[in-house]
Structure 1
Amino acid sequence: MSDYKIYSGTSQIRAMEIKNILESEGIEYYELNKLDSSYTGILGELQLYVSEADSEKAQQLMESIEDE
């Protein structure tokens, strides 16, 4: 199974919003938290991944929330 990165950034709020949307649509994801706890928002990033099977639907959801 291949994984598709749906989000990469430093905003924990944005990541939480995306996770809530994915959960409401029944899309499974996993998160890699590469943020440095001493310098949150400055060093590192959060990454969200979905399966390749869900990547198209997840991408459409991302585009729809970016248009808002």
Structure 2
Amino acid sequence: MPVAKNLKLLCFDLDGTVLAGGQPLSPANWQALQTLREAGVVLAAASGRNRQSLCKVLSPDTPLDYAIFSTGT
């Protein structure tokens, strides 16, 4: 997957977007995030979940730099 050279930060929604139907991160999405991270892109995920709930669906080695949770509060 080619990564835009000027891409520095990617912030994306988790629930219903990267995480489909409450399932764990798919292998394809995992690889896409890993490729972006290896290209130097900072990855931030956003979710309305609280931290405890978010930790249940994302493993500690998920390729993320930041998580915005509890609807940002």
Same structural fold, with TM-score higher than 0.5 when normalized by the shorter chain: no
> In proportion to residue count, which structure has more strand?
1
**TM-score, scaled relative to structure 2:** 0.30
